[in-house]
Structure 1
Amino acid sequence: MTSFSEGWDSEARLVQGRWVERRPRRPEIAGQLHTEVSLMSWPAPQLPLPVPVPAVARAEPLVAWHDLVPGDSLTTPDAAQARSLAGFLRALHTADPVEAVRRGTPSARQVREQRATMTAEFDSRVLPLLPAERREPATALLAEVAALPADTLVHCDLGPEHVLTRDGELTGVIDFGDVHIGDPAIDLAWALNDTPPAFAAALTAAYPADP
């Protein structure tokens, strides 16, 4: 077996050059991996790029396997790749959220409860540390976070390390551990704000993204 670079959530090893074996690093990650097992076989045929479709190999301690999604992390984003990613995101974001929740995806209610807990913690622990003139805009920002939409199946951890490429073409999207029903803008954050202008412009035109 060959170990991949250290992941925050799971240990991952390549087996016989064909399969990826994953083991949760922490107890709470087992629940995320079970969600992937329950969910990913459903959207995979609807998506224009390959994604991991894990299955449980051993229940206790949890071990899951899936076919290797080939490719390397995206390092030189271009407009053609942006259009390919836009097609992937359109398909993912139009998947039925009711069916996704039925298959174990965290629901809109759960996501809103998590946001409320997070913003309350920021309000009590972080805001008092800010200069007085920053507290009012920070409070307004937290209110906006709490009110974000929760109506779309989202990847929620989309960045260049999870978008794979080979010979200049996208070959897959990986790491769906944070998938949930949330705000589709989260999947555009990196793609529109930390990529070359040509990539961002092509993705905006092909998605399309509103302000």
Structure 2
Amino acid sequence: MNFDTKYLIRWGIPGWITLAYYLYFFIVRERIDLNAITSNNLGVLSSLLAALPIGVIVGYVIYQCYFTLLWVANLKFNTPKSLKVLIDLEYSIPEKNKEKYFLVEYVWHNSLSKVGESRMNYIAERYRHLLTKKHEVGSFLISLCLCTIPSVVIIFFVIIGEMNFLYLISTVINFALLYYTFFIFNYYSDNVDYFMSENLKDLLEKKE
């Protein structure tokens, strides 16, 4: 996968989905005149061209939010199985969660550097693949969380009778995707940690 494609997936898709959902919300609330945009082909084309880079920028911001909320601020939950491997092998474990994570990362990379090239490449590539998938799903999860804001507003307007109940279809889709994506995110999180912990255990036990 080349550089452009990788970051279009990681940043572009969450950004475009968020923009599309908010655009949908403002259109159904008649805050944006869709007829004015679609009245000529040039207007449609210019809108699409403008949305492409804006979506990537929004996606980048979403990715940074994900990285801060679910990675940096949640270090103690990222690699519990890998940390347990070090505890079981009687490593000196620091008290701060951030330093625990740094220790796991150091031991992990240091152990990898001491194995054969073919095995190291396999483990590193597999680990990179799982971690990339986790980050992609994580940023998509944050974009769906942002989409719940207009979804909740739509529910409110349906309750007070200002919008047709059929508009709830979009909110059901939003929350269904949110639940499914949360499940997938946890799957990749557990998968990364399990893969890392089992290989770490194997590498450290062989060293001893």
Q: TM-score, normalised by structure 1?
A: 0.26
Larger % of helix: which? 2
Larger % of strand: which? 1
Which of the pair has more CA radius of gyration? Answer: 2
**Bigger relative contact order (CA 8 A; separation at least 6):** 2
